[in-house]
Structure 1
Amino acid sequence: MITQPHHVPERLALLSGPAVDTFLTEGLLSGEQVHSGIDLAKAVEPLPEDDARWWVEPIRSLVEDAMFEFGKDRTRADAWLAPRLHATLRLTRREAADKRLWNHLALAVAPDYVVWRHLAEPARRVAAERFRGPADRQCFSRLWWAAELFRNGPDYEPVEIACGNQDLIHTVLRNDLIDHRPTAQALVRLLKDGKITTGRDVNGLSIAVNAAGATLIYDVLAPDEPRDPARLRDWIAEAETAPPVSRHVLPEGPDEEPVPEQSLAVLTDYFADLFETAPVRGRKGED
């Protein structure tokens, strides 16, 4: 298994897609050899030096702790790392939509983590999209966006629950409906309550939720609180003085209002009813 590059940058930067391709060698994708990091550093676009968010050390420390803690069950690292990555790398959604940032994080800062987490058997190869892929597939962007979409205001507990089910984050992150906070929280509550448990349950319910959403506006059925952008700006500004995130208790996200409990209860009940007739493979009566 590869180790970190000999040269790890001190700060995050932006790395374009074409530049990434130069370093996605067969040796890297097979987990046998990592680049030195020196040539890669010449291909990046720097980020503002006066912004404390771009220091690499807190992120490097997190991924090293994740690899140490979850070596026997690597998929469990997602639920642990997602909220801590989000609380460490405090981004606006616009910043997080820039694939060049995730390219740099995966390839220059922590390629060893990408290989550790996503080296697939029996081919013994990492899919290139884990380094430079869509937001729901790239190693680090998928975790950041899962935390952003499943957090309930400052509370990251729903993120842990969501990221504990690989099918949920794989399926739902591609769904625009998940940007409706009560929808995200209702799905998590069904998981937490044991109403849905398997990947087939998640996939079947997702199909039903999408189909119903074509004719029913969830914003009307389960209205959400308007979000105050000042709360997010304040949280991002606090990155300058924020201590490292705890390894043992969940951090706190932006001080935003949680989803209204009434909306969450209504939508949870509605989704539970949808699930009763959802097309779940393997369930009695389904092909």
Structure 2
Amino acid sequence: MSQKNAGHAPGVLGLLPDSSVTKFLGHGIQSGTESPPLVALLRTATTLPDGEVRWRTGPLRELVDEAMRRFDARRVEADAWLAPRLHATLRMSRAEAADSRRWNYLAMVVAPDYVVWRHRGAVAAAASRFSGPHHTQAFARLWWAAEMFRNGSDYGPVETACRVQDVLNTTLRLDIIDHRPTALAIIRVLERLIADESPRLGDRVNALSSAVNTAGSTLIYDVLAPDVLVDSAALQDWISDSMSMPPVPWARLPFGPEDGEVPNEAVEALLPLFERLLGDSQVRARPRHAAGEDN
């Protein structure tokens, strides 16, 4: 599928029902040998307000085109570059991001070529990369990774999280990362593993995530490491500022909403526990294809 064909998408995002993806998604689209039937898809979609800059498809299209250009020979590395920039461009609340129809439209109408490029594997991209859970769908997984692992306006931890596919494939599924100190403490342990050049990072991340999830709940970790309330007004200001926002920078990280950083002492309080949990856990080696390293 050519980028030229993808460029015929409308200038504003829309909402595409799951049923439309199920009806029209076939092997040809998943393999990139056919383009989605745009006219038929648009008949079933609801267009978002064209007066809101954040719903414009042009900046999103430029981002995915740049990601494919930069990382053509190393597709997995595109995640760490694209996730924070997608989040900073597509500014919205968690409630808005939880609507799968938004991601369906982005994958089927605006950038199906990116989905195939990033997730094709040996033959075709899985259907769940076009329409699926937030931790699997091609664009939702990146937006939610940025949302869950950012530290206020700092997207630095997001880059680290996206360097290891098992953070996206496994950790992102867990309810415990709703507790921001827990999410950032997991990333701190990962940073240490990367710095130590530890082997089998994906296996270790899976072991750590499983151990942390089994050992406690969001409520328990909040007692051990209290977080501060997120500044919802600052988040809304950040979303409103999208009306006049410039394109996100490509050479440096953008800035997220200044809705409050996680107290460093809260993260530090969890680190010894998480290091111990990792040390006590069984790190099971998996075949490379099972580890999700390529998709």
TM-score w.r.t. length of structure 1: 0.94
SS in 1 for 2:215: helix
- Residue 49 of structure 1 deviates from its aligned partner by 2.5
Q: What is the CA–CA distance in structure 2 between the aligned matches of 1:221 and 1:41, rounded to whole Å?
A: 49
- Residue 50 of structure 1 deviates from its aligned partner by 2.2
Unpaired runs of 5+ residues, structure 2, are 287-295
Measured against aligned partners, the alpha-carbon deviations of 1:90-139 in whole angstroms (never above 9, x if no partner) come to 01000000000000000000000000000011xx1110000000100000
SS in 2 for 1:42: helix
Q: What is the CA–CA distance in structure 1 between the aligned matches of 2:247 and 2:120, rounded to whole Å?
A: 29
4+ runs of 1 displaced by more than 6 Å?
none
- Residue 215 of structure 1 deviates from its aligned partner by 10
Match of 1:235 in 2: 238
1:63 aligns with 2:64: yes
Measured against aligned partners, the alpha-carbon deviations of 1:204-247 in whole angstroms (never above 9, x if no partner) come to 11111011115980001001011111010000000000100000
Check 1:43–1:216 CA distance in 2 against 1; reply closer, same or farther (3 A cut): closer
Q: What is the CA–CA distance in structure 2 between the aligned matches of 1:199 and 1:6, rounded to whole Å?
A: 36
Check 1:264–1:157 CA distance in 2 against 1; reply closer, same or farther (3 A cut): same
SS in 1 for 2:44: coil
Check 1:218–1:9 CA distance in 2 against 1; reply closer, same or farther (3 A cut): same
Q: What is the CA–CA distance in structure 2 between the aligned matches of 1:67 and 1:223, rounded to whole Å?
A: 40
Paired residues for 1:78-157 under 5 Å: 78-121=79-122, 124-157=123-156
Alignment: residue pair count: 281
| Aligned residue identity for 1:267 | L
Do 2:115 and 2:138's aligned partners in 1 also have CA atoms closer than 8 Å?
yes
Check 1:9–1:220 CA distance in 2 against 1; reply closer, same or farther (3 A cut): same
Q: What is the CA–CA distance in structure 1 between the aligned matches of 2:285 and 2:132, rounded to whole Å?
A: 31
- Alpha-carbon RMSD across the aligned residues, in angstroms, is 1.7
Match of 2:255 in 1: 252
Instruction: Answer with 4-13 or 85-94: which moved more.
Output: 4-13
Do 1:14 and 1:103's aligned partners in 2 also have CA atoms closer than 8 Å?
yes
| Aligned residue identity for 2:272 | D
Q: Which has the higher helix share?
A: 2
Q: What is the CA–CA distance in structure 1 between the aligned matches of 2:218 and 2:50, rounded to whole Å?
A: 48
- Residue 191 of structure 1 deviates from its aligned partner by 1.2
Match of 2:12 in 1: 11
Q: What is the CA–CA distance in structure 2 between the aligned matches of 1:48 and 1:153, rounded to whole Å?
A: 28
Q: What is the CA–CA distance in structure 1 between the aligned matches of 2:62 and 2:218, rounded to whole Å?
A: 47
Match of 1:38 in 2: 39
Q: What is the CA–CA distance in structure 1 between the aligned matches of 2:16 and 2:37, rounded to whole Å?
A: 16
Check 1:2–1:126 CA distance in 2 against 1; reply closer, same or farther (3 A cut): farther
Q: What is the CA–CA distance in structure 2 between the aligned matches of 1:110 and 1:230, rounded to whole Å?
A: 32
Check 1:73–1:255 CA distance in 2 against 1; reply closer, same or farther (3 A cut): same
| Aligned residue identity for 2:14 | A
Match of 1:281 in 2: 284
Do 1:2 and 1:115's aligned partners in 2 also have CA atoms closer than 8 Å?
no
Identity %: 51
Instruction: Answer with 51-60 or 208-217: which moved more.
Output: 208-217
| Aligned residue identity for 2:214 | A
Q: What is the CA–CA distance in structure 2 between the aligned matches of 1:17 and 1:226, rounded to whole Å?
A: 34
Match of 2:209 in 1: 206
Match of 1:159 in 2: 158
1:190 aligns with 2:184: no
- Residue 6 of structure 1 deviates from its aligned partner by 6.0
1:21 aligns with 2:22: yes
